[in-house]
Amino acid sequence: MWALYKRHAYELRHSVPGLVDMLFWPAMDLLLWGLLTRYMVQSNVHIPQAFGFLIGGVLLWDFVFRSNLGIGVTFLDDTSWTQNILNLMVSPLRASEYIGAAAAWSATKVLVGWTCMVTFAWAVFHFTAIHMGLALPLFALALMTFGIAVGMFVIGVILRFGPGADVLAWGLAVILMPISTVFYPLAALPRWAQVLASGLPTSHIFEAMRTVIAGRPMPWNALYAAFALDALYLGLGLLFAQRMFRVLKRRGYITRYMT
């Protein structure tokens, strides 16, 4: 696991595109939503705590998106992009160990990139995430856990259906974003979407975030629900990815990644 972690760390140090992906695009998302909220404030749009809600949503959603993307890109880099999967299959690395190493590397990239985003938000928009208080690390942990779980599902789907499913590394988290209540309350969704959203830990976390930023007490029930759902999805994601690793070897799908 440590060897796999170092392999990706060494690669990133010498990869300009990798550094751009980790730092530049999150900063662009923050700049876009930051300027939009500044315009809303200047136009006297009556939305309580609009600036904090939207900037906080961008910062916290990055935990989900980058955790998922980090695992997906790590796997693609070891398979489709470098055709290195045969070396992985003949190594003593077990599926659970590979997933653990990919999750650890993804978490490292997320924390480094998020630190840069928070600094950028403070320097440009004078927004500090510290306003969330002790709730911030709990929010971050819950969202990163869900992002890792989504990344495991992505790995499993790519293993089962081959390189054609690579787009899910970027797309699956985006599909979940509209019902994750990142920028608006749960009540803004239609009834059927509210039912779906209640089954995602993200909706509970973002509802709790808005409550905390508005100066009200921390809704602990929402946090408990988020962590319970995280445990469920993390377990299902791990089982699914491990099963697809076995299917890859048993059915010979490894040839999809070889030329």
> How many whole angstroms separate alpha carbon 142 and alpha carbon 220?
13
Q: How far is CA 143 from CA 26, 121, 193, in A?
A: 16, 19, 20
pLDDT at position 203: 93
pLDDT at position 230: 94
Q: How far is CA 222 from CA 27, 183, 196, 218, 228, in A?
A: 29, 17, 15, 9, 10
Q: What is the number of residues in the chain?
A: 259
pTM over 0.75: yes
Name, in order, each residue with C-beta under 8 angstroms of 55's C-beta and a sequence gap of 6 or more: 30, 33, 34, 37, 121, 125, 127
Domain count, the chain: 1
> How many whole angstroms separate alpha carbon 259 and alpha carbon 252?
14
Q: Which residue has the tokens 């929402």?
A: 222
The one-character DSSP state at 127 is -
pLDDT at position 130: 62
pLDDT at position 41: 67
> How many whole angstroms separate alpha carbon 180 and alpha carbon 88?
35
Q: Are 201 and 225 a contacting pair, CB within 8 Å?
A: yes
Q: Tell me the average confidence (pLDDT) per consecutive run of 10 residues in the chain, 259 residues long.
A: 86 79 76 75 61 75 84 77 72 82 85 80 71 79 91 86 76 86 87 92 91 84 93 93 83 66
> How many whole angstroms separate alpha carbon 128 and alpha carbon 252?
51
pLDDT at position 224: 93
Structural domain for 164, as ranges: 2-257
Look up residue 9 and give its amino acid. A
pLDDT at position 46: 59
